[in-house]
Amino acid sequence: MAVQRRLDWQSLLAVSLFLWILLVGTHVGARPANMSASKDKSAANKDDNEILPPDHLNGMKMELDGHLNKDFHQEVFLGKDMEEFDEDSEPRRNRKKLIDIFAKVDFNKDHSVSAKEMQRWIMEKTEEHFQEAMKENKNSFHAVDPDGDGHVTWDEYRIRFLASKGFNEKEIAEKIKNNEDLKLDEETQEVLESLKDRWFQADNPPADQLLNEQEFLSFLHPEHSRGMLKYMVKEIMRDLDQDGDQKLTVSEFISLPVGTVVNQQGQEMDDDWVRERRKEFEDVMDSDRNGIVTMEELEEYMDPMNEHNALNEAKQMIAVADENQNHNLELDEILKYSEYFTGSKLMDYARNVHEEF
């Protein structure tokens, strides 16, 4: 039912973004997933689909399809250590890891985490995601730069892209060389047109229709480029802005298509989803509290390196677990609310806390 609701909502979005989601896919944790073109794909080219811009960007508050990133708090708290926490892990081991993280966040070592300390930590973890994206980009860039000249043409990219989708690479290359019709299905053609638009957006002036490694990073990860961040914001605004005034109202941000809810279970699930989006819109996105989110506010909201956003996020994260209302986090509080911070619920969280710390 959750998948059906998500697909129903995506039907409102532009075809290009919708198709990106179909091709990239996400698993239940909203983490990016690679989809093979064929079952017998070799390990050597297992990561071919990393050349496709992902819908999910780590450390970003919103997906490219306009959905809220459900893992955002965990991503900016755990950074690259996020995958180490899962429900099947040994609770005592996870508790020890969380205690170690708390000690690192507690920069002044007073056994309490302030909003400023959490802000500093969030910025560090966001930078970790940036570094990881840059590392992955090197591999992806080399995969689409067969002659190793440090530049990739649109033709080189689309040959590799179509090959990763199961098309014969030599045949495609020959047809492109001879300007022949590629005879693509409508869905693949739509995806290519969307990618081509994004490709040229990533081509920094002077536009030469070639992408170097840095420009290719912007193509795959628009959060790394101010210009591409603006482009991403325009795309999201276009898809959610129903009246075309380049502003978002709360009703536009939370609207669901007629017929989405088919039973009581679906109604309750959608009610929760709407409440989450309304809260995010009113408490975070609408910075001047006037009931409207402008293009500028959306860009500020989407900017992962915005220190003001990081401080607000830090305050919200602290408020979730701040049981003694002192506006700081103590170790027992963060352990008690471990599921919010790590996705892993720790049993007997308070046992031996002080001894282990």
Q: What gap in Å lies between CA 246 and CA 230, rounded to an integer?
A: 13
For 81-93, how does the pLDDT look when each residue is reduced to its tens digit (9 = 90+)?
887 876 556 778 8
Among the listed residues 167, 148, 166, 146, the one whose alpha carbon sits nearest the alpha carbon of residue 157: 146
pLDDT at 174 over 90: yes
Q: What gap in Å lies between CA 319 and CA 314, rounded to an integer?
A: 9
* Both tokens assigned to 258: 């007629």
- Across residues 284-297, what is the average pLDDT? 94
**Are 281 and 32 contacting, i.e. CB atoms less than 8 angstroms apart?**
no
Would you say the C-alpha torsion 59, 60, 65, 68 has a positive or negative sign?
positive
Range with lowest mean pLDDT among 84-98, 270-284, 319-333:
84-98
Q: What gap in Å lies between CA 104 and CA 338, rounded to an integer?
A: 16
Specify the pLDDT at position 30: 31
Range with lowest mean pLDDT among 21-30, 101-110, 220-229:
21-30
For the stretch 141-170, what's the b/e string if a residue is b when 16 or more beta carbons lie within 10 angstroms of its beta carbon? bebbbeeeeebbbbebbbbbbbbbbebeee
Specify the pLDDT at position 63: 86
Q: Is 113 helix (H, G, I), strand (E, B) or coil?
A: strand
User: Which pTM does this prediction carry?
Assistant: 0.74
pLDDT band at 282; cut points 50, 70, 90: very high
> In sequence order, which residues have a C-beta less than 8 Å from that of residue 150 and are 6 or more positions away?
212, 213
pLDDT at 295 over 90: yes
pLDDT at 24 over 90: no
Specify the pLDDT at position 89: 65
Q: Helix, strand, coil % (nearest 5) of the chain?
A: 60, 5, 35
For the chain, how many helices (H) and strands (E)? Answer: 17, 4
pLDDT band at 205; cut points 50, 70, 90: confident
Which amino acid is residue 141, in one-letter code?
Answer: F
- Across residues 337-342, what is the average pLDDT? 90
**Cα–Cα distances in angstroms (integers) from residue 23 to residues 34, 49, 61, in the given order:** 9, 9, 21
Which amino acid is residue 183, in one-letter code?
Answer: K
Specify the pLDDT at position 88: 58
Segments making up each domain of the chain, as ranges: 58-77+99-132+223-321, 151-211
pLDDT band at 50; cut points 50, 70, 90: low
315 CB burial (10 A radius; 0-12, 13-18, 19+): middle
Which amino acid is residue 37, in one-letter code?
Answer: A
**Cα–Cα distances in angstroms (integers) from residue 348 to residues 108, 268, 337, 341, 354, in the given order:** 27, 31, 12, 17, 13
pLDDT at 35 over 60: no
**Are 188 and 206 contacting, i.e. CB atoms less than 8 angstroms apart?**
no
Range with lowest mean pLDDT among 21-25, 45-49, 122-126:
21-25
